Structure 1
Amino acid sequence: MLPALGRGAVEAALESAGGEELTDLQKMWAWALLPILLTVWTTVGLWIVTCGTYSPQSCIFAQVLNIGAVLGLWISFIRFQQIRDYGCHCRLNTISLILGVVMMLGISLVGNFQKTNQTETHLVGSILAFYVGMAYFWLQTALTYQVKPRHGGKWVGPLRFCLCLLCTALIIMMMVFHIQDLKSVAAICEWTAAMMMFFLFGLFAVDFWHLDGHFYHVQKKQSVLKRE
């Protein structure tokens, strides 16, 4: 028979359990805020893009995108590891990580090489940021339907799909308007697509809500492990 607990002991046990639950909840909130931070931070940079080719606005714009690229790399690696921990060791996840890294390189190039100073490098960065980035989010949408458990219920997958579809349409329209030399309309499509992509990053908060923490380690070669 289990020993009876006094009222004070019961209250202490409940408080202890509640404290542990609260601590876990705080950890989850912390990781969920990371994608939201990236979305808010990079969106701020868009408001100074009109003067982004002139100092000191160009310096601020570059720094905003560089920090955003670092946050994006962090999120890409966490998402990659999260999918692996759910038992999905497919090549699709690895390709997605590579595309995420290339996308962040493109964002950094866009910020550091202004169009008026280095047009070719700026365009290369734009291609990497938009086209490779769009491929990254399409793969993430596919992985959403493959990974179990699927966080966020039934609405996350369709929402990601609709945002990717809309963003792809905006990028195609941007290309068409650039060819027709309608620069103002093309710019509207470009930055609307950028906002959509940043929102797609923010949507990872739904998945990161279920994280307690993460770590990476260096693993020895298999032959060395067998000898030991």
Structure 2
Amino acid sequence: MFVFCYSFSPPPPPTVAVIGILRFSQLKSKMKKPWLNIFGALASSVVALGITFVANFQISQNEWVHNTGTVLVFTFGLVVCWIQVVLTFQANLKHEGVKVGILRAMIATAISITVIVYLFLVAQHKYFHGARTQWLWTMLFLLFIGTFAIEFRYSEFNIQCIDEESLSKVSTIIAEFHSDDFTEN
């Protein structure tokens, strides 16, 4: 009866994966503890995989895969949020880390609360209301992902593919911080 109440539509997988990689590239030269940045990028990739499962396997057709994707999205999405909160405070780009970090911490707290409320509602077999909290989680996660625009404005990301006759070179995504290009008003 409540088959379609589990379905939700998170952000597109490539968006989450690309933003995770760009964020990793942006912070890789600025972090004292690179393992946290690496784990953040890996967690973003797991979220993208979970979103792929949720989007491509409807609960009515393959419940196990869909629910596995849901668990991946919720758990690793929460991990991504809190890792990025910590990285925001540590990196403190352009001395905006505290302001942006507080904003992200508030959104991550709201996301954490929605997960707790969702688990509480599902435990009481209130699937319809549980689906509403999934949608709220999705909107909050999109808002959280959107906050990266604040710090991405200070970075330049280049992708180069160079094909020469004798040698084929492919360079990876490179984040360059150009503080000289931006003046404080």
Which residue number in structure 1 is paired with residue 17 of structure 2? 73
Q: CA RMSD in A?
A: 2.3
Identity of aligned residues (%): 25
Higher relative contact order (CA 8 A, sep 6+): 1
Which residue number in structure 2 is paired with residue 114 of structure 1? 58
Change (3 A) 1:52 1:187: closer
Q: Which of the numbers 159, 171, 180 marks the counterpart of 1:217? A: 171
Q: Please show how residues 35-114 of structure 1 align to structure 2 within 5 Å.
A: 68-88=12-32, 90-114=34-58
Deviation digits for residues 60-90 of structure 1 (CA, Å, limit 9, x no counterpart): x7xx96xx21122111111001001335452
Rounded to whole Å, the distance in 1 between the matches of 2:140 and 2:85 is: 14
Q: Secondary structure at the match of 2:171?
A: coil
**1:98 CA displacement:** 0.6
Rounded to whole Å, the distance in 1 between the matches of 2:110 and 2:5 is: 27
Rounded to whole Å, the distance in 2 between the matches of 1:154 and 1:133 is: 22
Which residue number in structure 2 is paired with residue 149 of structure 1? 93
Rounded to whole Å, the distance in 1 between the matches of 2:87 and 2:65 is: 32
- Confirm whether residue 200 of structure 1 aligns to residue 154 of structure 2: no
**1:188 CA displacement:** 1.3
Rounded to whole Å, the distance in 2 between the matches of 1:52 and 1:112 is: 14
Q: Secondary structure at the match of 1:212?
A: strand
Rounded to whole Å, the distance in 2 between the matches of 1:51 and 1:120 is: 15
> Which structure has the highest helix share of the two?
1
Which residue number in structure 1 is paired with residue 69 of structure 2? 125
**1:211 CA displacement:** 1.5
1:109–1:122 CA contact under 8 A, matched in 2: yes
Rounded to whole Å, the distance in 2 between the matches of 1:197 and 1:151 is: 24
Q: Read off the aligned partner of 2:140 and give its amino acid letter.
A: M
Which residue number in structure 1 is paired with residue 119 of structure 2? 175
> Which structure has the highest strand share of the two?
2
Deviation digits for residues 76-113 of structure 1 (CA, Å, limit 9, x no counterpart): 11100100133545210011111000000000110000
Rounded to whole Å, the distance in 2 between the matches of 1:132 and 1:186 is: 19
Deviation digits for residues 170-224 of structure 1 (CA, Å, limit 9, x no counterpart): 1111011011011121111111011101110000000111112234737xxxxxx
**1:52 CA displacement:** 10
Deviation digits for residues 139-184 of structure 1 (CA, Å, limit 9, x no counterpart): 0000011114256463211110011111111111101101101112
Q: Which runs of 5+ in 1 are unaligned?
A: 1-49, 54-60, 219-228
Rounded to whole Å, the distance in 1 between the matches of 2:116 and 2:156 is: 39
Q: Secondary structure at the match of 1:213?
A: strand
Q: Secondary structure at the match of 1:115?
A: coil
Deviation digits for residues 17-59 of structure 1 (CA, Å, limit 9, x no counterpart): xxxxxxxxxxxxxxxxxxxxxxxxxxxxxxxxx7998xxxxxx
